[in-house]
Amino acid sequence: MDWIAVDWGTSSLRAWWVGHDGVIKDHRSSDQGMGTLSSDEFEPTLLGLIDDWLTPDAKTQVIACGMIGARQGWVEASYTPVPCTPSQTHLTTAPVSDPRIDVSILSGLSQTKPTTDVMRGEETQISGYLAQHPHFDGVICLPGTHTKWVHVSAGEVISFQTVMSGELFAAISQHTVLRHSVSGDDWDQDSFDTAVDVTLSRPAAFATELFSLRASDLVLGQSHGAARARLSGLLLGMELAATKPYWLGQIVILIGAPALCDLYRASLRAQGVMVDTADATTVTLAGLAAAYKHKFGTLE
């Protein structure tokens, strides 16, 4: 049977039509993220994207991951506590009126010790990576708005840690006085590298270095590209200082947007860490396929 894989985040929706042989027959995306929709719009929005993939006289299975399973989403897919095997978590059935589809949404993961934490969406990418590398033991880092650092062993997620550096960069660069000094797309890599070192070796410097980005513009005419890179570097250095138990002496797999992964890779390598990357879309699809296989016992 054909089935449909869906990654539905806050700001985007992607769907793949997967043939009974596992080959992708078609794929589509839209900017209709769950964050822009009200509760009665989820089903028509999905149908609008995939309608011509469906068969009138048979049910097609839809397996979805991401924020669509949050409390504000289509249906709340409750968190599975770690440690757990991410491909074997519970699937929650979404309420659907169209007889041509069943929709199952993957659970996120939760943790109460050593820190309280949650993830939703990344568990599918981790599951996909483990489907492709079943003997992997080590750390997976998923850079993004909320970067996840994940300790994996024997096929299970043991613990994880979320760091909001990406969202902090956006909030600080758009909603503080620094917006006047970091605007534009210029980038000075040396300034970034230096800033990572500053807060990695002395995290408290984040508090005192921040306003100097503005003052250096006013007093010294520092370029916006240097200030922008310094802000990013100060955040990443503090993140690396805080997550040292995750990466020190480990192999780290990076999964995320290539440009962002490049920044993490360079900074981790400078600390002597072995780094590899995996394609984000590939592991997302592999994770959705692992969930489909876990539920229906077959991929074909």
Among 60, 85, 212, 223, binds a copy of itself (CB under 8 A): 212
Does the protein bind a copy of itself through residue 296 (CB under 8 A)?
A: no
User: Least CB distance from residue 83 to a copy of itself, whole Å?
Assistant: 16
Q: Are 19 and 2 in contact (CB under 8 A)?
A: yes
Does the protein bind a copy of itself through residue 175 (CB under 8 A)?
A: yes
Strands (E), 31-155: 60-65, 80-81, 91-93, 101-106, 109-111, 117-119, 138-142, 147-153
Among 24, 58, 154, 215, binds a copy of itself (CB under 8 A): 215
Q: Are 204 and 241 in contact (CB under 8 A)?
A: no
Does the protein bind a copy of itself through residue 181 (CB under 8 A)?
A: no
Report the DSSP beta bridge partners of residue 139: 151, 252
User: Least CB distance from residue 235 to a copy of itself, whole Å?
Assistant: 8
* Token pair recorded at residue 44: 């028509």
Does the protein bind a copy of itself through residue 203 (CB under 8 A)?
A: yes
Q: Which amino acid is at 151?
A: H
Among 44, 183, 208, 296, binds a copy of itself (CB under 8 A): 208
User: Least CB distance from residue 222 to a copy of itself, whole Å?
Assistant: 8
User: Is 62 or 213 the residue whose CB approaches a copy of itself more closely?
Assistant: 213
Does the protein bind a copy of itself through residue 112 (CB under 8 A)?
A: yes
Q: Are 8 and 64 in contact (CB under 8 A)?
A: yes
Q: Are 85 and 156 in contact (CB under 8 A)?
A: yes
Among 58, 171, 248, 257, binds a copy of itself (CB under 8 A): 171
Among 220, 249, 298, 300, binds a copy of itself (CB under 8 A): 220
Among 61, 110, 223, 250, binds a copy of itself (CB under 8 A): 110
Does the protein bind a copy of itself through residue 266 (CB under 8 A)?
A: no
Strands (E), the chain: 3-8, 13-18, 24-30, 60-65, 80-81, 91-93, 101-106, 109-111, 117-119, 138-142, 147-153, 156-163, 251-255, 274-278
| DSSP of 166-207 | HHHHHHHHHHSTTHHHH-SS---HHHHHHHHHHHHH-TTHHH
Does the protein bind a copy of itself through residue 118 (CB under 8 A)?
A: yes
User: Least CB distance from residue 300 to a copy of itself, whole Å?
Assistant: 37
User: Least CB distance from residue 134 to a copy of itself, whole Å?
Assistant: 29
How would you label 225-259 residue by residue, b for 16+ Cβ within 10 Å and e otherwise? bbbbbbbbbbbbbbbbbbbeebbeebebbbbbeee
Sequence-distant (6+) residues with CB within 8 A of 140 are 126, 129, 148, 149, 150, 152, 252, 253, 255
State the DSSP code for 84: B
CA 67 from centroid of its chain's CA atoms? 11
**Contact track, a copy of itself, 40-79, x by CB under 8 A:** -------------------------------x-------x
**Contact track, a copy of itself, 223-242, x by CB under 8 A:** ------------x--xx-xx
User: Is 28 or 180 the residue whose CB approaches a copy of itself more closely?
Assistant: 180
Does the protein bind a copy of itself through residue 271 (CB under 8 A)?
A: no
Question: Which residues in this chain contact a copy of itself in the complex, by CB under 8 A?
Answer: 71, 79, 110-112, 115-118, 146, 161-165, 167-168, 170-172, 174-177, 203-212, 214-216, 218-220, 235, 238-239, 241-243
